[in-house]
A and B are shown apart, each in its own frame.
Chain A
Amino acid sequence: MYPAPFRYHRPASLEAAIGLLGKFGDEASIMAGGQSLIPMMKLRMGDACEVIDIGRLPDLSFVEIRDGMLCIGALSTHASIAASEAAARIPLVQEAGGGIADRQIRSMGTIGGGLSVADPSGCWPTSLRTLKTSVQVRGPAGARSIAIADFIQDSYVTTLQPGELVTEIRIPLPAANTGSAYVAFKRTAAAYPTVSCGMELVMDGQTCTSASIVLGAAGPMAVLCAAAEQALVGREVTETSLGEAAELIVAASDPPADARGSAAFKRAMLKTLVLEAGRRSLARSRGEQVKGGHRYA
């Protein structure tokens, strides 16, 4: 299968890219690594007329600590994030990058692309939603910063305005005694997650002072549940309290039944993933080295 004809543009600068985006409007498709766009084009599911290849734009591929934040250039590949020492400061980020699809896809796919596609089963939308991530975008009107909660508006829909593109992801470095994890259930590496869960716990001794839990592929958008987080905050994190949190958030989810599994199975798997993400987060909050990785069929 092959893409339909399109015109190819490779702007030399961010400004030029923004200019092209403005010029072509609806007709434009941004390609970073192409790992989401090219398969859709091959299946002729899209209508891309003007492909703007931003893959080589300078200065957008970095993973570094700056001003107390983990800063990731939009063109950083999943593989480079997984291998980054800076990203290791937030295990969830490293785990998300290292668990996307397979090695080949991780070589080419970028965080900016993965986030902008806003696929409800995508790893970046779910994992980054767990943290206080901000998305830096640039457009004809200049730069702005969007909180991750506002960035994704719906399945496959972001708040990016015409002519805008993502330039950087910023995540505040975690306080001491914080642990995070992202774990998905996937049938195979190259298949999309059936369901996934991101979690971050901040501990004070035995007591949880802050919790963030997000479910992926569990509805049209990332699923959050304040009650579930409250089930952990101010309490000891145990199998029991995690189980309660899992019950609450899974009750708030609405995973669709499809070829990946029935809704009942997905709910059950989500509960298991919440527990697993909780165990890993707790251990990491204590400075323990915990092996990451997804569950596979």
Chain B
Amino acid sequence: MEMKFDGNFEVGIPRAETFALLSDPNKFMPVLPMYHSMAAKESEPNTSIVKLKIGIGKVHGIATTEIALQDNQAPEKASYVGKGNVMGGAYNMVVGFNLEDAANGGTRINWHGTTQIYGRILSIAGGGLSGIAEKEITRVIGSLQDALASREHFEAVVRQAQAAPAAEGLIARVARFFRELFGSAPAPAAPAAAADATDTAPARTEPLRKDPSRGVIAPLGSSIQVDSDGSKQWTGQRLRRKEDERLVRGLGRYVDDYVGGHIAHVGYVTSPYAHAKILAIDVSAAEALPGVICTLTGKQVAAQTTAFMQIGAEPSANLKDYGIAQDKVVYPGEPVVLIVAETARLVEDAVQLVTVDYEPLPVVLKSEDAATDAVILHPEVGTNVSFAGVWDHGDVDKAFAEAAHVFDIGRLHFHRFASTPIETSGAVATWSPRGEVEIVCNNGLPGVTVQMLAAFLNVSTEQIRMKSEDVGGNFGTKTVNHTYIALAAVASRAIGGRTVKWVETRTENLACFHGGERTFLDTKVALDADGVITAIRSRHLDDAGGLLRYEPLGCSIWSQVYPATYRLRNMHIEFSQVMSNKAPCTPNRGYSRMQHIWFMERVIDICAHELGLPADEMRAKNYIRADEMPYTTPNGNIYDSGDYGMMLDKAKELIGWDEWQRKQTEARAEGRLLGIGIGSTVDSGTNNFGQVLYVNPHQVFSGNTEACRIKIGLDGSIVVTLGSSPQGQGHETTTAMVIADDLNLPPDMITVRTGFDSSWNTYSGLSGTIASQFAVTGLSAAHGAALKLKAELLRLAAHTLQAAEDQLEIGVGAMGPEVRVVAEPERAINFWMLSNLANANISNVPESLRDINLNVMDVYKPPFEPVDVEKKIGNQTLTYAPQIHIAVVEVDRTTCQPKILDYAVVDDCGVAVNPKIVAGQVHGATCHGIGAAMQEAFQFDESGSLITATFTDYAPITAINMPPLKTAATSTPSPFSFNGAKGCGEGGGGPLHCISAAVQDALHSEGVIVTESHNSPSILMEALRAPNRAQVVARA
């Protein structure tokens, strides 16, 4: 935020003296009402460090300002240039004055000032800050005027101010705190020991938990079915989740739940600036604070690590990212100094004691501006464009030449938001004396992250034990918390391997993990006489933010859903990604595809409105038809199955389409703005990492993999481990169901260990929970492992029972799970005995069966072919789960507040392994989309400060904001997965599409087309004030 002030006043002192007073900070500063203390800066003689007490009402803090006198032209003019920090933010100011002789022998002071404020204070103080600042300035000028009334008075004021005991600042206060703590004894020599004492509780006398049977979690009761359909198959049953047994008792184990012991804590000094050069860093006061173990600057980190691998090709591959700023900062919230201290509280105390000297640089916020390279973020890259490529398929020129209608559509913009899991990112890291590091974290893609970490830390992937247990939501955002995890490992190594914990604060999370923003320019659409779209030509700019984390991979994955749900064959998209001074973009539920589908849906609705075609008819004309499935898109994606037309009919029925049409007619007659909008979307799941070659042909990823291991324990128990890192999707339950079906056992008898653990040796190079894939990748691996295990069990049992394998079955006997002869069930051997034969009592097994270990792993490898990099043709995902959303929205004429009057969603996730879990995914994705469409948006001021820096300002959607949902499911089994399931977690952003459509339907009569994905009342009010329908130009 920038503020400018000016004014003038007269004083009774002659000009030369006035100048002398005003140009001497030692005399001038103490006159200020908020003066606290002052010292000269040793290194720069011209510069003073002034401490001012600044506050809003009862809330006040000490602002440390470094000021230097510049442009000193006695006795006419001079100016002070200053910069400082206050309340977690930063500010710069220039205050100048021109002096003139006044009539009475006094002086006329003309003053002017400019100040820029940065940081979270802008968010917390809201829009009232400029008014408050204005009053502060008035107060300053008032007291200056008062003090300069006469020389005597002035000197008295200065004396008084200098004599007043300065209020105690934070450093003194913290030091005092420790002095008091240790009585009059001198401060202990070792800071670590000091803080240990601070935070060591008296000896524990009570058990850790109330529950004396801690560690033994009683089952919730029968987990079997709520609504059994009588089938013998577990797949398809609405089972209660195994996970719930611990989670409803508060016994989940999340990263932050590693407490006590000897854990040190990690935190960061972060940048208040969106773009600035780092001139100097002073950590001495922080390091002197008892309890602070060490600090690390970016340079210190870089000296012992290798910059993170970049996914993109040159020149973006030249980007040097160490997870912590080096010479400059490129977004607000970027880590600048890492601090390790005995407690999380001490870390925050130390953060306040670090001084960083910045030189602000011009900021780039808009994608179009970034693309001009007028201001370049990363000199080592030389451009802000991290990727540029053209997708050109079919014969676009011919289609335009033959078109009956052509529309030009102006700028469309998809906004920044994030799904902000309630658990923030975190990591606990410990180095062993053997040079191995154990990391507990909540990363979403550990298979890849292990590789990223190893290269960064200069160790082998096999020296990293990577682990996740319960994870409190992710929605893609934790895919790229690897830089922070790596820095936690660096911090542990820096303090001799001691365990450190880093848990992100919500404010840090909101500053650093944003979903992607995209701008769509120069769109041209060709249609035939019936309103069928034949070609689209457009230019898309994706905003990666300040650094590339898993980008520019997002630049390719939108093309998984290239034509969205539509049949058009001719497309020309010039796609680039640019870097801007905002938080690095992370994957976020619907990653990259929802932005593109939103664009396609805008095109459909804008064309439909201009042609006067109803939205449902327009879609029915243009949808890919059920009889065309599997359907190959112009760029080689194979849509597996689905009947979009039927789903639309079902959604219309669900919402009461005809009735709403009637109500809409009535409402319009009353002058009300009521709209009905459809959003058609597909969620592409199980991606082919080969598409990364579109952005960098030298990359070494292709296809996809996921691992599952099943072992029969020595006591016959069945234990399953997975390579996935679930965050609420119920992997324990669905995996047990699939294996239960394969082994003919109840899911309760199958233990699925939660989370990822590289020491289980159950993972692949691409393991993780991302991109709507577990139902296919993870469950296929579970199925594969179960079949392998079953084969081993039958082979071994056949020998023992002296029966042919095809006469055997698995089931539950009196002694637990067993293999038995179908015709003679009493001829059986249980799993305990079998495990014993395979692992302990092996001499009784013939040589030919000694390869059996009853510990099997399967890695699922979907049937992907390499992509054609030149033509950008290839199958990028295995399954496509469509959803049709319909929203009825009324926009209040006075306030422009949109209100959802009715909402329906129909999904097709293929065969639902557990319909309860699938429905939950649909609900959650719908809520994220509604939140984003209606109330959630990251907002910035012109200097790049985030003004939605806390949850209170960002205001994520709550139960009172959610409309009731009408939901229904259809199922067209995927031909490409063993069980007909499709990935469905991301959902495809349906609410963003249908709410934009409904708002446009409501406002089109007022000359408005919807060009923003965010529908806040402020945006809609602006749209109604300046109708933009003229942006759509029809050409014959």
Contacts and interface: CB of A to CB of B under 8 A. Distances in A.
A/B contact in complex, CB under 8 angstroms: yes
Interface of A: 1-2, 4-5, 26-27, 29, 40, 43-47, 49, 116-118, 120-121, 154-158, 185, 187-192, 219-220, 255-262, 264-265, 268-269, 271-272, 295-297
A47 B61 contact: yes
B616 interface: no
A45 B894 contact: no
Interface string B937-969: 001000000011011111111101100000000
Given A26-B167, A117-B58, A296 B961 contact: yes
Select the residue from B348, B939, B951 with max chain A CB neighbours within 10 A.
Answer: B348
A43 B961 contact: no
Contacts of B348: 1-2, 4, 44
Nearest to B345: A2
Select the residue from B131, B174, B895, B960 with max chain A CB neighbours within 10 A.
Answer: B895
Contact of B57 (A2, A47, A157): A157
Nearest to A187: B955
7 contacts: A2-B348, A5-B345, A46-B61, A47-B55, A187-B935, A260-B127, A264-B1018
Nearest to A152: B57
Interface stretch (B118-126, B556-564, B872-880): B118-126
B349 A261 contact: no
B699 interface: no
Nearest to B937: A259
B411 interface: no
B1025 interface: yes
Given A49-B173, A256-B131, A265 B1017 contact: yes
A272 B58 contact: no
B1026 to A, nearest CB: 11
Given A49-B168, A257-B127, A296-B961, A269 B121 contact: no
A5 B349 contact: yes
A246 to B, nearest CB: 10
A258 B121 CA distance: 13
B132 A155 contact: yes
Given A258-B126, A259-B123, A265-B1017, A188 B955 contact: yes
A67 to B, nearest CB: 31
- List the 8 shortest-distance A-B pairs measured between CB atoms, nearest first: A156-B57, A256-B127, A258-B127, A262-B1018, A187-B955, A265-B1018, A258-B126, A2-B345
B394 to A, nearest CB: 43
Interface in B54-91: 55-62, 87-88
Given A44-B87, A261-B1016, A264-B1021, A256 B58 contact: no
Given A4-B349, A26-B167, A220-B128, 9 more contacts: A43-B124, A117-B57, A185-B895, A185-B897, A262-B1022, A271-B894, A272-B895, A295-B897, A296-B960
B505 interface: yes
Contacts of B132: 155-156, 220
Contact of A43 (B56, B62, B120, B897): B120
Nearest to A297: B935
A259 B131 contact: no
Nearest to A156: B57
B896 interface: yes
Nearest to A116: B58
A188 B961 contact: yes
A192 B128 CA distance: 13
Contacts of B954: 259
A253 B642 CA distance: 55
B187 interface: no
Contacts of A295: 897
A188 B958 contact: yes
A297 B127 contact: no
A2 B87 contact: no
B186 to A, nearest CB: 20
Interface of B: 55-62, 87-88, 120-121, 123-124, 126-128, 130-132, 135, 167-168, 170, 173-174, 177, 344-345, 348-349, 352, 505-507, 892, 894-897, 934-935, 939, 947-948, 950-958, 960-961, 1016-1018, 1021-1022, 1025
Given A2-B345, A49-B168, A259-B947, A189 B58 contact: no
Contacts of B952: 190-192
Given A49-B168, A187-B955, A188-B955, A265 B895 contact: yes
Contacts of B1017: 261, 265, 268-269
Contacts of B896: 265, 268
B750 to A, nearest CB: 40
Contacts of B892: 272
Nearest to B952: A191
A157 B56 CA distance: 8
A36 to B, nearest CB: 9
A2 B344 CA distance: 8
A40 B59 contact: yes
A265 B177 contact: no
Given A265-B896, A269-B897, A47 B170 contact: yes
A120 B127 CA distance: 11
A160 to B, nearest CB: 9
B62 A47 contact: yes
A45 B58 contact: no
A161 to B, nearest CB: 13
A220 B896 CA distance: 25
A259 B507 CA distance: 16
Contacts of B130: 256
B939 to A, nearest CB: 5
A46 B895 contact: no
A188 B957 contact: yes
A239 to B, nearest CB: 12
A283 B126 CA distance: 35
Nearest to A254: B131
Select the residue from B131, B135, B948, B1018 with max chain A CB neighbours within 10 A.
Answer: B1018
Contact of B1018 (A121, A157, A261): A261
Contact of A5 (B174, B934, B951): B174
Nearest to B57: A156
Nearest to B198: A5
A120 to B, nearest CB: 6
Contacts of A5: 173-174, 177, 345, 349
A22 B58 CA distance: 15
A31 to B, nearest CB: 11
Contacts of B174: 4-5
Contacts of A117: 57-58
A189 B952 CA distance: 10
Contacts of B1018: 261-262, 264-265
A47 B174 CA distance: 12
A190 B956 CA distance: 10
Nearest to B170: A4
A23 B954 CA distance: 40
A268 B891 CA distance: 13
B935 A155 contact: no
B58 A4 contact: no
Nearest to B131: A220
A74 B716 CA distance: 66
Nearest to A190: B952
A40 to B, nearest CB: 5
Nearest to A258: B127
Contacts of B120: 43
A154 to B, nearest CB: 7
B961 to A, nearest CB: 6
Contacts of B168: 27, 49
Select the residue from A120, A190, A262 with max chain B CB neighbours within 10 A.
Answer: A262
A27 B176 CA distance: 14
Nearest to A46: B59
B961 A297 contact: yes
A185 B960 CA distance: 13
A269 B344 contact: no
A44 to B, nearest CB: 6
A265 B1021 contact: yes
A45 B128 contact: no
A45 B88 contact: yes
